[in-house]
Chain A
Amino acid sequence: MPTYTDMTRCDGCGECVDICPSDIMHIDPVYRRSYNVEPNFCWECYSCVKYCPQHAIDVRGYADFAPLGHKVRVRREADKGVIAWKIRYRDGREKAFSFPIRTTAWGSIRPPADYAPPGRHELDSPLLAHEPEALKIAALPSLSTRSEKV
């Protein structure tokens, strides 16, 4: 199926519907729970799995080439800035990994309009916002193409 929703865990909140980049997680009108309406347009990106507050969504690898019996489970703890993976092989072997996902607090990015406004003439320079400081070199490099100018 790629992703599928557990009947007993899903409470129909719709987070998966809201996040799916492929627009394939829909709410079933009878059961009021989500399901994957187009498994063949699923990229197994795990966005719905990661964002499901009930941990109700799982992945079963594509039937074309993934034999049954495996699990790749994930718990993304956004506020702690970590993601944890647990992999179970068809033959029962297990592996676990965890990685950081962010070093700053969610919502902490300084919006571009919070910086001092650039001078009017700077709009005509090749410099982008925060340059040259953000380049961490003295000046923006340039190149002469005069020999080839047509």
Chain B
Amino acid sequence: MARRPETRFVDCDILVVGGGFGGCGAAYEARYWGRDLNIVLVEKANVERSGAVAQGLSAINCYMGMQWGENQPEDFVRYARGDLLGLVREDLVYDIARHVDATVHKFEEWGLPIIKDEKTGRYQREGKWQILIHGESYKPIVAEAARKSVDAVHNRVMVTHLLQDSKRPNRIAGAVGFNVRDGGFHVFRAKAVIVGAGGGSHIYRPRAVGEGMGRTWYAPWSTASAYGLLIPAGAKMIQMENKIVLARFKDGYGPVGAWFLLLKSYATNAYGEKYEAAHLEKLKARVGKYAESTPVPTCLRNHAMLEEMKAGRGPIYMHTQEVLDSPEKEVIGWEDFLDMTISQAVVWASQNIDPKETPSELITSEPYVMGSHATCSGAWASGPEDIAPGDYQWGYNRMTTVEGLFGAGDTIGGSAHKFSSGSFTEGRLAGKAAVRYVRDLRGETPAIDEGQVNTLRETIYRPLETWRVGRNEMVAGSVSPNYITPLQGLQRLEKLMDEYVGGYSTFYVTSEPLLKRGLELLTLLKEDMAHVGAEDLHQLQRAWELHHRILTAESVTRHTLFRKETRWPGYYYRADHPDLDDAHWHVFTVSRYDAASGEWQLDTLPVHHFVP
């Protein structure tokens, strides 16, 4: 790479950051409504296979089936609310639920093979909300639609920062980043920005720390940019303490949904005992009525498994051998993995496990920070005009508290259980709203601040210079007194988050003293990030991914400290506040980071219920 990277200005009306399901939905819908607008999609990988669905999926987990009267949006709100122990944005959840069927019907029209029930002709249900697909090419199909929607796709450009309007405070003006292949510096000047970036894997130490550290449940390229971009832009973030832990097949992290819901398999401890009911009974003392939600909330099921593991009654087993009693079921079981978690098939083949004959181990994963799964961390966003209560609505649907900055998928908080179809749908909602926003701007175009851009340009490439200088001070190897590599920084982050902020090594337990010590160590890590060294552009990408993860981790830690209760046992525990406390904490936690002062403000926001 040349010493002075070339600067490339890209002007557009709407910039979509991140080409996963949220970003692809945003691109499609923005084009539908904004025929004459210049729409640009930027993606750090290749949109053909990027984002959390890069590998494929074996099911669509959010489909109402309103055409057959299977479910109504209100049912879905009750489900998501129950699963998150009461705390969701009902307007946002409802909004996705009422639109999501149209999204799925479009996917089918585009060529996604959706499995049908031969008798009824309806989509084959995996569970109440899930339908089965042959989804190996789910992402390439959706990417085709997105590519056809935009004026340009910039693949292999990692967006590192959002840009503020120089004329008006708290308004978006674009984004900057660098090309991972040739090092070019990209300055995107946009009237509206839709962030569809990913949530966070590798915030916490993964269970496999050697070669297998990349086999996290959630993709290693989901680097918390959804939050790492929004936090320094001053967007209000909610529920960042609401990290998610998954019970999955051990090591491969193969999904369990099809096994539990469709194949009707079950889990036991090592002694063949079904353990869940007894633990749920005991949980009533800690979480009250929420232990009686149907289905049992995801975190509480984790809790039951953890109690067994702590008591030494593991391994926990999924009894696959009890249910694979026909060739058809065996194929369903295998496709479930081959479509979306091939590693599980690798684990079975390598360990001589045939699911027809042998049960398979389950375990709880390391925590993740997300807004799209059975959890809802993310930005505080304006809701739909025709539904949202007044204090949930300030103009445009899915606009954050920064003017002109929209989000979708993992970016938007308070709306759990979006999964792939819901994230695409939320992208569509944001895409349409962004077109309205741009229309309403009329001539009043935001402008970038050249001083800010020049400072960021220096900042972004500094790790390359740090490495170039530092490496000359030693013979060879990775031990430098003057810089840390992105991997070294990442592993320090993962270790401290694991040990102080409720990772698997403490059985997800933390407390005020632990969290405060964790914050001290995080502060030191943040200081050391001024000395991160990158030997090439690939490592420069890793360095900026780490920046995004660290900001997210700090937000998670501060939110966890702020919420003085244990709302989601099985996701994490505050040992000093071990019970759920609805009297004081039936609220959203909200934070705002002031990049200029480095100060965080934490507060609460009301949870409104309007679905009975």
* B331 nearest CB neighbor, chain A only: A97
The bracket for how many chain B residues form the interface is 35 or more
Q: What 1/0 flags go to A71-95 for Cβ under 8 Å of B?
A: 1101010100001010111110101
**Contact stretch, chosen from B270-278, B337-345, B552-560, B563-571:** B337-345
**Is B113 in contact with A103, judged by CB distance below 8 angstroms?**
yes
A41 partner residues in chain B, CB cutoff 8 A: 213-214, 220-221
* A143 nearest CB neighbor, chain B only: B387
Selected from B346, B385, B386, the residue in CB contact (under 8 A) with A72 is B346
**Does B120 belong to the interface (CB within 8 Å)?**
no
**Is A141 in contact with B72, judged by CB distance below 8 angstroms?**
yes
**Is B136 in contact with A101, judged by CB distance below 8 angstroms?**
yes
A67 partner residues in chain B, CB cutoff 8 A: 350-351
The bracket for how many chain A residues form the interface is 35 or more
A115 partner residues in chain B, CB cutoff 8 A: 32
**Is B211 in contact with A129, judged by CB distance below 8 angstroms?**
no
Selected from B111, B156, B335, B354, the residue in CB contact (under 8 A) with A104 is B111
**Does A47 belong to the interface (CB within 8 Å)?**
yes
A136 partner residues in chain B, CB cutoff 8 A: 66-67, 101, 105
Nearest CB on B from A97, distance (A): 5
**Does B546 belong to the interface (CB within 8 Å)?**
no
Docked CA distance A4–B35 (Å): 45
Selected from A21, A42, A87, A101, the residue in CB contact (under 8 A) with B49 is A21
**Contact stretch, chosen from B164-172, B235-243, B388-396, B414-422:** B388-396
Selected from B28, B51, B221, B389, the residue in CB contact (under 8 A) with A149 is B389
A135 in contact with B66 given A47-B55, A90-B349 (CB within 8 Å): yes
* B388 nearest CB neighbor, chain A only: A145
* A96 nearest CB neighbor, chain B only: B334
**Is B538 in contact with A63, judged by CB distance below 8 angstroms?**
no
A105 partner residues in chain B, CB cutoff 8 A: 111
**Is A45 in contact with B49, judged by CB distance below 8 angstroms?**
yes
Nearest CB on A from B192, distance (A): 14
**Does A56 belong to the interface (CB within 8 Å)?**
no
**Does A1 belong to the interface (CB within 8 Å)?**
yes
**Does B112 belong to the interface (CB within 8 Å)?**
yes
A51 partner residues in chain B, CB cutoff 8 A: 49
**Does A68 belong to the interface (CB within 8 Å)?**
yes
**Is A44 in contact with B342, judged by CB distance below 8 angstroms?**
yes
CB-CB contacts below 8 Å: A82-125 with B: 83, 85, 87-91, 93, 95, 97, 99-109, 111-113, 115, 117-118, 123-124
**Does A35 belong to the interface (CB within 8 Å)?**
no
Docked CA distance A67–B390 (Å): 58
**Does A140 belong to the interface (CB within 8 Å)?**
yes
* A89 nearest CB neighbor, chain B only: B349
**Does B219 belong to the interface (CB within 8 Å)?**
yes
Q: What 1/0 flags go to B59-92 for Cβ under 8 Å of A?
A: 0000000110000111000000000000000010
Nearest CB on B from A137, distance (A): 5
Nearest CB on A from B495, distance (A): 15
Nearest CB on B from A118, distance (A): 7
Nearest CB on B from A140, distance (A): 6
Nearest CB on B from A136, distance (A): 4
**Is A129 in contact with B388, judged by CB distance below 8 angstroms?**
no
**Does B428 belong to the interface (CB within 8 Å)?**
yes
**Does B251 belong to the interface (CB within 8 Å)?**
yes
**Is A148 in contact with B46, judged by CB distance below 8 angstroms?**
no
A71 partner residues in chain B, CB cutoff 8 A: 349
Selected from B136, B144, B213, B435, the residue in CB contact (under 8 A) with A106 is B144
Docked CA distance A56–B144 (Å): 26
A145 partner residues in chain B, CB cutoff 8 A: 91, 387-389, 608, 610
Nearest CB on B from A24, distance (A): 8
**Is A135 in contact with B67, judged by CB distance below 8 angstroms?**
yes
Q: What 1/0 flags go to B587-612 for Cβ under 8 Å of A?
A: 00000000000000000001011110
**Is B215 in contact with A111, judged by CB distance below 8 angstroms?**
no
* B91 nearest CB neighbor, chain A only: A145
Q: What 1/0 flags go to A48-60 for Cβ under 8 Å of B?
A: 0001000000010
CB-CB contacts below 8 Å: B359-396 with A: 384-391
**Is B343 in contact with A40, judged by CB distance below 8 angstroms?**
no
**Is A134 in contact with B106, judged by CB distance below 8 angstroms?**
yes
Docked CA distance A111–B385 (Å): 28
* A99 nearest CB neighbor, chain B only: B134
Docked CA distance A31–B387 (Å): 61
**Is B342 in contact with A45, judged by CB distance below 8 angstroms?**
yes
**Does B402 belong to the interface (CB within 8 Å)?**
no
Docked CA distance A95–B118 (Å): 26
**Does A12 belong to the interface (CB within 8 Å)?**
no
Most chain A CB within 10 A, of B31, B94, B338, is at B338
Selected from A38, A44, A97, the residue in CB contact (under 8 A) with B346 is A44
Selected from B35, B136, B343, the residue in CB contact (under 8 A) with A99 is B136
Docked CA distance A90–B48 (Å): 33
* B55 nearest CB neighbor, chain A only: A45
**Does B347 belong to the interface (CB within 8 Å)?**
yes
B487 partner residues in chain A, CB cutoff 8 A: 40
Docked CA distance A148–B451 (Å): 46
* A93 nearest CB neighbor, chain B only: B354
Most chain B CB within 10 A, of A39, A43, A87, A90, is at A43
Q: A45-B342, A103-B112 are in contact. List 16 more A-B contacts (CB 8 A).
A: A19-B49, A22-B214, A40-B213, A61-B347, A64-B208, A66-B212, A72-B346, A85-B334, A99-B136, A102-B113, A112-B28, A112-B145, A118-B32, A131-B102, A135-B99, A143-B611
A–B pairs, 7, beta carbons within 8 Å: A2-B211, A21-B49, A72-B349, A90-B352, A128-B29, A130-B102, A134-B101
